[in-house]
Chain A
Amino acid sequence: MIRLEKRPSPSRLWTLTTPILAVIATMIVGGIMFWAMGKDPFETIRTIFWDPLFDETFGPYSRPQLLVKAGPLILIAIGLSLGFRAGIWNIGAEGQYIMGAIVGAGVGLAFYPTESVFLFPAMVIAGAFGGWAWAMIPGVLKVKFGTNEILVSLMLVYVAESILASMAQGLLRNPEGMGFPGSRNFARDFPAASNLEVISGTGMHWGVVAAFIAVIFGYVLLSRHMLGFQVRLTGEAPRAARFSGVKPTRLILFCLGTSGALAGMAGLFEVSGPAGQISIDFGSGYGFTAIIVAFLGRLHPVGILLAGLLMALTYIGGELAQLMLGLPAAAIQLFQGMLLFFLLAMDILSNYRIRLTKKGAV
């Protein structure tokens, strides 16, 4: 018989090794799934995890993509992890990401065709502001009226998507676009407002730089600063946090605001870089995937960095597998879902000890 037994304190060793075990378990069960679909499991796993990085044909194309995809995921997940640590559940990062892109792009387009070097930084600030303001809606509602931030932030995603559609077809539509929906293309038509690669050919655009800075910022905040301590304390023991002098309303607004601002920034970097323009289908789900990244990374900044890269790899590898092996997109999504499932399931190992006992000796 198997029994679970609570550990006196969470095991450090298991906290570090469970993500690796979860990835391995996902590969095994995913492999079985691919096999059941009539694909060679080893080839599929290799296509997802190995080929994007090391294949001679695809590598040069997909390696830069890794940073391009991981950048926004990491940036958003770092912000979300602060709130999640404190028990404040911002599920609507996708909406904040979209609103950041709209506000930031709006500022850029308003100054078309300026060549000022200040334009791009101003757009970044505007993007952060857009995301921040969108996240303040659930924040203020929660603080003032006790509404549930999970529901409000989630529903605001759909509002943001509608605003996006309206903007792409109306206010921000390219006047020279012959009536097609979508704004001017920053990369093609508007260099001063474009999010360029910092090092050419690596995929390292300003958003990736911002993501790395956010990782360092998050690490310092959580481990070296009183505010980070208060965030963790609130998540661990809300009453103790109040006793310690934490003001819950301020903390809620700080966490939601920061995650919103980072998500908004990520949106701006995306719209002015890889996406290129405001379009109806701009929202690509980064805001939701970042939730998985945040948990996969154990809500720890360095973990999130690694998790973001891994998640980006499964995206790119998944696309490659769709292309090369004809796997359906749903299979790839299932594969990603498995990863989160196994990670959360294995979490039990860090808090519990598994004991085998003989029957009857209980």
Chain B
Amino acid sequence: MTGSESAANSPLLTLEGLRKAYPGVVANDNVSFTIRPGEVHALLGENGAGKSTLVKMIYGLVKPDRGEMTLENAPFTPANPAAARAAGVAMVFQHFSLFNALNVAENIALGMDNPPSPRDLSDQITQVSEAYGLPLDPTRIVGDLSAGERQRVEIIRCLLQNPRLLIMDEPTSVLTPQEVEILFHTLRKLTSEGTAILYISHKLEEIRSLCEHATVLRLGQVVDTCDPREKTASELAEMMVGESLHIPTRAKRDLGEVVLHLDGLSLPPSSSFGTSLKDISLELRAGEVLGIGGVAGNGQDELLTALSGEILAPAGAVCLHGNDIGALGPNPRRELGLLTAPEERLGHAAAPDMSLTENALLTGAVRENLTTHGFLKWGSVKDFAEKIIADFDVRTPGPENAARSLSGGNLQKFVIGREILQRPEVLVVNQPTWGVDASAAASIRQALLDLAAGGAAVIVISQDLDELMEISDRFTALNEGRLATPRPAQGLSVEDIGLMMGGAHDMHEAEAST
């Protein structure tokens, strides 16, 4: 073996027997694997499998209880993220930590340990962004950037430190397909220079096209390793879940008459960094599932609140069965059969510190007849909560537990179940499976399809395109508050979808400059 070969094959980062326990739960136990220079290493696992804890240990945010890490043959025990960065480990988080009111260069300077002078930094940003095909103007205000551009800010902040290991947590969840391509291009370029990438994602197709190694975590332990290029997506999913997955099936159904009709719905933004809705029109038929894609922050939340009745609509803009309901609040709309499930589970769809029983009352009071003259029928409320828990397989000791004690997936099943059990005529859900593990997500999708098969109309707003393609009859997308014309989902190509979502920002410049 020659010297250069052994250098290329010697591991960059080795983890051995890492363990981290939190009270009541072992987040990681006996986790060992190695990452080699220049490889894209995928970390696979359901929510709660321990991926976040693991990368937090590598990034110095959490100290392992036991086990050792070795970075380039030297013991690696970062006391904090600054130490990890100094050793050459950088991380791009799923949720951006950027200040909307500052510009790109200022934001990057804030995240650096020793920022250079503003002028030098701007030059460096331009240089790096050109070198890696990530166009970004250092003088732009972050509040005006798209999610994809914000991610570039985070990536460039990392690249300026010349990392040897780049950790990316769910980087594509906020990107259009075109933007994903740009990102992958950048990542491949990085690996060709010897940088290793630890890649966390739920999106199995992406992992298959990008990664050479995958380590699968389940319940905090490494259960398998594989070369994802040699596996199918469903094989990978089964490795994660540990059981075979139920794939939602749709029954044949006939579309009925138009139940929900939006006509030129325009609303101003509710906050200074909110999105305005611009001239949204659509017709929704009974028995139909309409998928609305789009990158987060393009008006999804606003559309849902306009439909739920939290924000009132101008006259004639929102009609249910031909009646104008724009001026009605949430409860009168529920009475007429229009139900909604917002994206944010804790704090919007449910009250975190209240019991499941009380959360069942939160939307169920009117349709489930849970009050007499304003007095609560706690017995009926509890029965309703127990029915949701039983019918939708919500894992909890009982309805008296606080909503925040449930895992994300379980609470989501509760929230969706609460609306479905009220027999809606129109159900609007926003990100129904966001942060939900694969098997729970499959059962939620099945429940939505069954609801449509029963004659209800369903709108699913989601960032997960695979999900939308799986369950939608028609597809459309929100882009900067505008809704594209819905098209039949079957036969729609990825390019079509990407264009409906607004394509890639600055993509043409990117191609021109590289």
Contacts and interface: CB of A to CB of B under 8 A. Distances in A.
Contacts of B401: 9
A152 to B, nearest CB: 24
A245 B331 contact: yes
Nearest to B377: A224
Interface in A223-271: 224-227, 229, 232-233, 236-237, 239-245, 247
Nearest to B363: A244
A224 B375 CA distance: 6
B348 A5 contact: no
Given A9-B402, A243-B342, A243-B363, A229 B358 contact: yes
A233 B362 contact: yes
A144 interface: no
A244 B352 contact: no
Nearest to A241: B351
Contact of A240 (B65, B334, B348, B375): B348
A233 to B, nearest CB: 6
Contacts of B308: 243
Contact of A239 (B331, B348, B375): B348
A240 B330 CA distance: 11
Contact of A225 (B23, B340, B374, B405): B374
A32 B140 CA distance: 61
Contacts of A242: 310, 330
A247 B351 CA distance: 16
A10 interface: yes
A105 to B, nearest CB: 35
From A10, A240, A361, name the one whose CB has the most chain B CB atoms within 10 angstroms.
A240
B478 to A, nearest CB: 20
B272 to A, nearest CB: 15
Interface string A322-362: 00000000000000000000000000000001010000011
Contacts of B404: 8-9
B344 to A, nearest CB: 7
B374 A233 contact: no
A308 to B, nearest CB: 26
Given A8-B404, A224-B376, A362-B63, A247 B329 contact: yes
Contacts of A236: 351-354
Nearest to B358: A229
A205 B354 CA distance: 38
Given A245-B330, A245-B331, A240 B361 contact: no
Contact of A227 (B330, B366, B374): B374
B362 A239 contact: no
Interface in B379-426: 401-402, 404-405
A24 B30 CA distance: 47
Contact of B371 (A10, A226, A239, A355): A226
B71 interface: no
Interface residues of A, number: 25
From A10, A227, A229, A243, name the one whose CB has the most chain B CB atoms within 10 angstroms.
A243
A10 B353 CA distance: 8
Interface string B322-365: 00000001110010000010101011111111100010011101
* Chain B interface residue number, banded: 35 or more
B375 A225 contact: yes
A355 B363 contact: no
A9 B405 contact: yes
A245 B329 contact: yes
B352 A237 contact: yes
Contacts of B358: 229, 233
Interface string B52-93: 000000000001010000000000000000000000000000
Nearest to B378: A224
Interface in A176-219: none
B354 A232 contact: yes
A236 B361 CA distance: 14
A233 B308 CA distance: 18
A355 B24 CA distance: 13
A244 B331 CA distance: 7
B326 to A, nearest CB: 16
From A239, A361, A362, name the one whose CB has the most chain B CB atoms within 10 angstroms.
A239
From B23, B344, B348, B378, name the one whose CB has the most chain A CB atoms within 10 angstroms.
B348
A224 B23 CA distance: 36
From B347, B366, B404, name the one whose CB has the most chain A CB atoms within 10 angstroms.
B347
A245 B371 CA distance: 15
A233 B352 CA distance: 10
Nearest to A247: B329
Given A8-B402, A226-B371, A243 B349 contact: yes
B402 A243 contact: no
A94 B65 CA distance: 55
A236 B404 CA distance: 12
A33 to B, nearest CB: 36
B14 to A, nearest CB: 24
A173 to B, nearest CB: 46
Nearest to B24: A8
Interface string B276-319: 00000000000000000000000000000000111000000000
A226 B375 contact: yes
Contacts of B352: 236-237
A239 B329 contact: no
B351 A226 contact: no
A237 B349 CA distance: 10
Contact of A233 (B346, B354, B378): B354
A242 B362 CA distance: 10
Contact of B351 (A225, A237, A353): A237
A60 B348 CA distance: 55
A247 B366 CA distance: 15
23 contacts: A5-B23, A224-B375, A225-B376, A226-B374, A233-B354, A233-B358, A233-B362, A236-B352, A236-B353, A236-B354, A237-B348, A239-B347, A242-B330, A243-B310, A243-B330, A243-B340, A243-B349, A243-B362, A244-B363, A244-B365, A245-B330, A245-B334, A353-B23
Interface of A: 5, 8-10, 224-227, 229, 232-233, 236-237, 239-245, 247, 353, 355, 361-362
Interface of B: 23, 63, 65, 308-310, 329-331, 334, 340, 342, 344, 346-354, 358, 361-363, 365-366, 371, 374-376, 378, 401-402, 404-405
Q: Which 7 A-B pairs have the closest CB atoms?
A: A245-B331, A9-B402, A237-B351, A8-B405, A245-B330, A236-B351, A239-B348
